[in-house]
Structure 1
Amino acid sequence: MAIYYLCPEHRHPVGGVRVIYRHVDILNAHGIPAYVVHRTPGFRTDWFDNDTAIVYWRETRVERLLARLRRRLFPEAVIELPIRGGRAARIGAGDILVVPEIYGPDLAAAQGRGIPKVVLNQNCYLTFNGYSLDPERRITPYQHPDVLATLVNSEDGEDYLRHAFPALALHRFRLSIDPERFAYRGEKRRQLCFSCIKNRADAMQVINILKFRDALRGFEVVPFINRPQHEVARIYQDSALFLSFGYPEGFGLPAAEAMACGCVVVGFHGGGGREFFRPEFSYPIEQGDILGFARTVERVIEGLDRDPETFAAKGRAASEFIHAHYAPEREGAEVLGAWRAILEHAGQVGGA
C-alpha cells in the first residue's frame, strides 16, 4: 500500500503544490509510503528546495488504448494507473490516490476507476468549477463510492464543504509557515508590497487612489509575481505593509507569510484567511470595497508616522500569532492524524 498525490505541474510558485510535496514528506518521515505523481517524465517542482519522492504516470498511447478497452469490456473492473519511478509498476486497488479539487466533478471516475481516493480540497471556492446548473445532474466526487474522505486546509473550507455535503468524511489539516524562511524582522523600510497573482485590477485602483492623493509619499511600492520563495521572504521582511488582494482564497498563504515576517496586513481575507485576519493586528477589508481599502491604507500609514511603536507592535503580534498557530509541528500532527483515521477506515472497508 502507498499513498499517491496527483500534482499539477507549475514552474512558477503555487502554494498548493508546496502543500502536496509537504504532505508526502510528512507521511514518508513517519513510515507511511507516499509519492507525488507527475505526468511529465523527470518533472520536479524547483521553486523551493526538495528531495520529495516522485513517480511518473506512464501514459503511452498503448496504455491509454488498453484502459479504454478495459472500461468498455469490463465496466466494473478497476482501472489501474501505470507509473514509473517507485517501488510498484501501477497504482491499484490496494493503494490510495489523492486528487486535487481542481479536476472537477468527474475526478473520481476519470482518474483510475475503482482505486480508493481522497480529495485534497485546498480552495473550497473551486469545488464546483466545471459543474452543471441542471438540478438533476448530480455527478460529484464527494458522493462517489471510490472516495474515502476529503482533506481541507482551512476552517472556512471545512464549513463550506460540511454544509454542501453533510455526510462527507472530512478532515481539516493546518498549513504551516516555515519559521526560518519567513522569520520575523522588526527593522522595516517605508515599503509596501503585494502579490499580483489575483485581482490585479483592484491593486491598480487602490495604488493609484493613494498615489494621486500623495498618501504614498516616501513609500516604495513593491508588486511581485512568480518570485522564488527566498526573494518573496526578503520582500516581506523589508516591508512595513502588505496589501492583500487575494479572493477567493482557500487559505491565503501570502498574507500569512507576510504576517510571519512582521508586516502589518491590510486587505481581503478571501474567505480562507478569515481565521487569521485578526482585527487586533490586521485590517480586514470587505471584498470589493476599493474605496474602503484605499482609505484604510492611508489611515494606517498616518498611524505609522504618528505612533511607530504601536504600528511595530501590531507587526510583532501578527508574527507571533502566525508562528504559534501555523507551526510545522502542528501541521505534521494534523496531517498524520487525518491519514491515520482515513487508513483505519479504509482497512475496515477492505481497502488499504
Structure 2
Amino acid sequence: MGRILYYCEQGRITGGIKVSYRHVDTLRRNGFDAAIVHKHVERPDWFAAPDVPILSADEVVLSPRDVVVIGEDSRFTLRGVANTPARKVLLCQNHYYVAFGLHGARDFSGFGIEAALSTGDVVTAFLRRRFPGLPVATAHLAIDPALYRPRPKQLRIAAIPRKRPHEMEYIRDLLRAEHPEHAGVRWAILKDAAEGLVARVMGESAVFLSLARLEGIGLTGLEAMASGCAVTGFLGDGGREYASAENGWWADGEDLDSAVRQLAACLTAVRGGTAETRIAAGRATAARYTLEREERELVAFWRNFLT
C-alpha cells in the first residue's frame, strides 16, 4: 500500500482544511500511510491541527502506489496531477464548488478520478445525480463534543458573517426597527476567528444566527447546536440534511424578512423560557455527528478503495 496524500490549500480559514487534517490523522491511527500536501510546509495555527506529516507540493514525487486526494474546487491541482501515475480520489465537501474544479470539463474522468468521497448526504445526492457513473461514498462530518459544548449562557446572538455580511446587517437593522423589545440584545460577531474562540463564544451564547449560504452541509449550525444554542437563520441548502421545525427557527429559503421574523421568535422563546425543547432537539441532532461514525465510514471507504 502506498501513500494517501491529501492536497490542501493554505491561507484560508475554512472547514475543509480541518476535515482534511482530521481525515489524515484518523487514517494514520488506523494504519494507513497518509499525509497532507501543502504548497509550503506550514501547519495552520487557527485550529488545533493534529501532528501529521506535511509534505511540500513542489517536492512530492508521485508513484503508481500513491493515491492523491483532491478537493472539488482545486482545478489547478486536478490538472497538475492528471498525468501523474498516482491514483486519484475526489474529496467533495461542497457540491456548489464542483463547477470551479471542472472549469468547463464534462466530468472528472479526464483527470483520472476513480471515486468520490463526500462529507454529507446532500453532497452525495448531487454527485450521484451529476456523475452517475462515478462511485461515491459518504464519510459524514463530525462534531468534537470536547470542543463544542454548552457553557454558562448569556443573552447574546453569535454570528459568523463570512458568507452573508450584507444580509447580517439587514437582519440586525430590521430586528431593531420592527422588534424593539430585542434591540438591546448584544451580538458577538466572529470574523476570521480561531476555532477555540468560535467554540467558546458559541458555548456562551444563547442564540446562534446561521448565515450559511451555498453549503455542503452547514457545519456551523451543527456546532452551535452541540454548544447548546438556540439556532435560527439560513440552511444554506446543505443544512437540509439535519434541520427541522423541531430543532431550530429556520428561515424560508433565502427570505431575509423570514430570517428576521424567525430570529425574533427565537429570542422571544429564549427570553420566555420556552426554547428548551428545540435546544435539546438540536443537541440530539448534533450528537449524531460523532467522531466514531466519521472514522468508521472513512476507514471503510479507504479499505474498499485500496482492495
CA contact (8 A) 2:5 2:35 kept: yes
Q: Which has the larger radius of gyration?
A: 1
Partner of 2:182, secondary structure, is coil
The 1-side partners of 2:106 and 2:241 are apart by 31
What TM-score do the two structures reach when normalised by structure 1? 0.82
Which residues in structure 2 correspond to 1:166-181 (within 5 Å)? 166-181=132-147
Shifted more, 330-339 versus 110-119: the winner is 110-119
Which residues in structure 2 correspond to 1:1-352 (within 5 Å)? 1-10=2-11, 12-40=12-40, 42-49=41-48, 50-58=50-58, 82-83=59-60, 90-104=61-75, 107-113=77-83, 114-129=85-100, 138-141=105-108, 143-144=109-110, 146-185=112-151, 187-213=152-178, 214-306=180-272, 308=273, 310-323=274-287, 325-344=288-307
Deviation at 1:225, TM superposition (A): 1.2
Shifted more, 214-223 versus 146-155: the winner is 214-223
Partner of 2:208, secondary structure, is strand
Deviation at 1:126, TM superposition (A): 0.6
1:192-216 CA-to-partner distances (Å, cap 9, x unmatched) read 1110110111111111100123142
Partner of 1:180, secondary structure, is coil
Moved over 6 A (4+): none
The 2-side partners of 1:315 and 1:336 are apart by 32
The 2-side partners of 1:43 and 1:147 are apart by 27
Number of matched residues?
A: 303
What TM-score do the two structures reach when normalised by structure 2? 0.93
1:10-43 CA-to-partner distances (Å, cap 9, x unmatched) read 2x53110000000000110010100000111x31
Deviation at 1:304, TM superposition (A): 2.5
- Structure 2 unaligned blocks of 5 or more: none
Deviation at 1:340, TM superposition (A): 1.1
Percent of aligned pairs sharing the same letter: 29
- Structure 1 unaligned blocks of 5 or more: 59-81, 84-89, 345-352
The 2-side partners of 1:156 and 1:216 are apart by 35
CA contact (8 A) 2:210 2:221 kept: yes
Deviation at 1:230, TM superposition (A): 1.3
RMSD: 1.7
C-alpha distance 179-28 of structure 1, shift in aligned 2 (>3 A):
same
The 2-side partners of 1:145 and 1:37 are apart by 18
Instruction: State the AA in 1 paired with 2:167.
Output: D
The 2-side partners of 1:131 and 1:38 are apart by 21
Shifted more, 156-165 versus 292-301: the winner is 292-301
